[in-house]
Amino acid sequence: MLDATRDLIEGGGYFGAGLNQVVAASGAPRGSLYFHFPGGKEQLVGESVRRAGREIGDVARELAEAAPDAVGLVTGMLALLGDRLEESGWRRGCPVATVALEMAATSDPLQEVCSEVYGSWEGTLRDRLAADGHPEPEDTAVAVLALVEGALLLARAHRSREPLERVTRRVAALL
């Protein structure tokens, strides 16, 4: 159910992930939905976003450990996210952004989940920047994350990797 919800929200947003669509896409019985997610759609979407955020966060942490520096971390993430986006026919950008844009102003639980996930990603960037000796790692981590998110949005809108490639070059120059 969480994977089906993730696919639906990434492709069509919060409002494109109706409970009937989740049940159909997951193949789970409708009763399972209410048993596992008594808080309804809001809880289901929140857990799906949290899970997707953890998966991407795990990849980022692995890259942070393996990359020679913060530039390598960000370049690697942009490449992986770009591959994911292109392979999905430009449907799977950031698993958090759509929900954050649609629901953060009206749903405290979903706003908190989105903030939690973004905070985790910022932390990974901040820690790597600090380890590399960058000044002001907190501010730089937020700026880099904003560049990555913006590049994913533009790549999806243009159905082109060019925004990702441009941001990759700018991040290398910035860092």
The answer to whether residue 78 scores a pLDDT higher than 90 is yes
- Lowest pLDDT segment from 44-53, 88-97, 135-144: 88-97
Q: What percent of the chain has pLDDT over 70?
A: 100
Mean pLDDT of 74-90: 95
What the chain holds in terms of domains, given with CATH numbers, is 46-174 (1.10.357.10)
Mean pLDDT of 57-85: 96
The answer to whether residue 12 scores a pLDDT higher than 90 is no
pLDDT tens for each residue of 130-157 = 999 999 999 999 999 999 999 999 999 9
| Closest by CA position to 168, among listed 86, 75, 82 | 75
In a 10 Å sphere around its CB, with 0-12 CB exposed, 13-18 middle and 19+ buried, how is residue 156 labelled? buried
- Lowest pLDDT segment from 11-15, 107-111, 133-137, 165-169: 11-15
The pLDDT of residue 33: 87
The pLDDT of residue 125: 97
The answer to whether residue 122 scores a pLDDT higher than 90 is yes
The answer to whether residue 93 scores a pLDDT higher than 90 is no
Task: Give the number of other Cβ atoms within 10 Å of residue 56's Cβ.
Answer: 20
The answer to whether residue 11 scores a pLDDT higher than 90 is no
